[in-house]
Amino acid sequence: MDRNSFTGLFLIMLIIFGSFYLLKPKPEEIKREKERQHIDSLKKAGKLAPQAAAAKADTSKVAVKLDSAQLKGAFGPALAGTEKFITLENKDLRLKLTTHGGRIYSVELKNFKTFDGKPLILFDGTQNSFGINLAAENKTFDTNNLYFSSPTSGLTVADKDSGSITLRLNYSATQYIDYIYTLNGTGYKVGFTIKPTGLDNVVANSNTLNINWTTYLKKQEKDMELERRYSTVYYKTLDDNVDYLSENKDDQKDITDGKAQWVSFKGHFFSDVILANNGFAKTNISVAIDTSDHVNTKQMKADLQLAKSSDGTFPMSFYFEPNQFHMLQAEGYSLEKQINLGPGPLKYINRFATLPVFDFLKQFNWNYGLIILALTVILKLVLSPLTYKSYLSMAKMRVLKPEMDEIKAKVGEDNPTLLQQEYLKLYKKAGVNPLGGCLPLLIQMPIVFAFFRFFPSLFELRGQSFLWMHDLSTYDAVITFTRIPVIGIDHLSLMCLLMTISTLIYTYFNNQISGATGQMKYIGYITPVIFLVTLNSYPAGLNYYYFLANMLTFLQQYLIRFMVDDKKIHAQIQENKKKPEDTKKKKSGFQARMEDMMKQKQLDTAKKK
């Protein structure tokens, strides 16, 4: 195998491995797709009732008949009642509170809409439950089933004002539990304090509360699969460790490595967070996916234990807000860390390089399509020395190709070890590094993968249009069709198609530059086809960036061609070959290891004969 084949195969295998590793559907996704198709087929045949809808439908309240003993017992006044709704809102939020359970019944973000223009409701109805378990008189009570009282029907807070609403759970006339909801005139933070009065000798373990919170996150975006892919439960411990459950499968965790300061039911672009400054003593969290559910993305649960503060209350806060990096960062508590910018070094590339440049470009108030263009141009300019070095190395190898063909004709292809050894001798004499064109490309690979994570997590692209793309945060379908089994494609993204075509063209011209022959001349065309399938449902903004990167690379190589003269390179190589061995550049460690390996392999072959 010659150097072109070795380098090309190495790069192709790296790209294919990376694309399969990062983009391949997980076994759980394949399983969900099969289950979805099976359920759809049964529904079409009329053999399956809409179970998910029936199971999650809001049930009407049935009057409860109570005897006098129950009314006089623990929480007797709260065992029956009529559900009433109270509205608490400011400039950004509209909360609907219910007296049945005293909980937040629904949350609307007033400044945002769903992908199809409807009000953006994070959760609502019986699909959201928030309650505490209370033990009194040898009985256990769940506040979700008890009725609270409230003296008001609603409150609107404006400008710099703040206001609060209290819902009361009565045990007796002088013994009760207050749920106090506080809201400022602007912002997404909701103060929440549980204040018990006169219950220390009535309720068991009154110094701690056991809180159970369950929510179904509603579908907000165009692509359910992409939304699920970026949704899960996040949490932060008091030692500033932020972690999360699996994004691709059902998962659960008991947090035992410290108190959890906050737990977030994180959706793709919006999150529900509960926070306690002093942390939750015990925390169990879980996430589950219902593949038959076409309304909700995931079910998320948190069982939390909170200790009483010094003033006898249980203070907490809710945050219902967009997953916009700087907005979360301004709230504090490392909430911005729930935006996954990639694993390992990819996270640092996006956090300390890509994001600052993107923020700088936002100041000009350009269309986001132009911002992505400017970001790509800046990146290409920064990486242009590496691009030049890679092109120059490939040009050197192209000039050497006639001599390599002569060596192949002389040695033959029956002895690949000897052939590679002769190639290495030629590289050494000519002063050419066989990996000179490969290494600059490898250095750029982390940036390519970093952008793969950056654009899908970028809230700013949500709902932003450019050219024919109505929303840069999701795919731009130019054709829709019946879903193809297993791979799960039911549309063709135009920008992904353009990106694939540009990659194929790039591969063609790159083969001309590198002088690739044989199988290596065609194997590079496999990767764009893989990308067409895997990136088809990814955001148009991501495919737009890859398309721009290819086009700018064409432009760079066109300009570099005027700077690189094959005749001068050939003359320089011939001069290098005339130099004594001791004056030539010291061979790299890789070259030395390759030569040793080739010699050892040749000796082993000789021994076998």
More confident residue, 481 or 341: 341
Q: How many helices (H) and strands (E) does the chain have?
A: 17, 21
- The two structure tokens encoding residue 409: 């004709």
Q: What is the distance between the terminal CA atoms of the chain, rounded to a whole angstrom?
A: 22
Alpha helices by DSSP H, listed for 166-268, are: 224-229
Q: What backbone phi and psi angles, to 5 degrees, belong to 17?
A: -60, -45
At residue 387, the pLDDT reads: 78
Q: Supply the pLDDT for residue 425.
A: 74
Of all residues in the chain, the percent with pLDDT exceeding 70 is: 76
Q: What is the pLDDT of residue 315?
A: 96
Contact 123, 216 (CB under 8 A): yes
Q: Using CA atoms, how far apart are residues 354 and 271, in angstroms rounded to an integer?
A: 23
Q: Which residue has the higher pLDDT, 421 or 121?
A: 121
Of residues 21 and 449, more confidence is placed in 449
How many Å apart are CA 572 and CA 181, to the nearest integer? 78
Higher pLDDT, 436 or 122: 122
Total length of the chain: 609
Using pLDDT thresholds of 50, 70 and 90, give the confidence band for residue 516: low
Tokens for 286, please give them.
Answer: 């879980």
Q: Highest-confidence range of 382-391, 547-556, 589-598, by mean pLDDT?
A: 547-556
Token output for 70: 């129950």
**In the predicted model, is pLDDT for residue 4 greater than 60?**
no
Q: Which residues of 49-65 are buried (b: 16+ CB within 10 A; e: fewer)?
A: eeebeeebeeeeeeeee
Distance CA 366, CA 358 (A): 11
Whether 57 has a pLDDT exceeding 50, the answer reads no
C-alpha dist (Å) from residue 207 to 106, 193, 196, 202, 304: 29, 14, 10, 12, 14
DSSP-assigned states of every residue in 211-239: EEEEEEEEP-SS-HHHHHHT-EEEEEETT
CB 461 within 8 A of CB 541: yes
**What global pTM score does this model have?**
0.80
Give the pLDDT of residue 299.
93
Give the 3-state secondary structure of residue 14: helix
pLDDT in tens, 153-163: 889 999 888 99
CA–CA separation, 397 and 569 (whole Å): 10
Rounded to a whole number of angstroms, the CA Rg of the chain reads 32
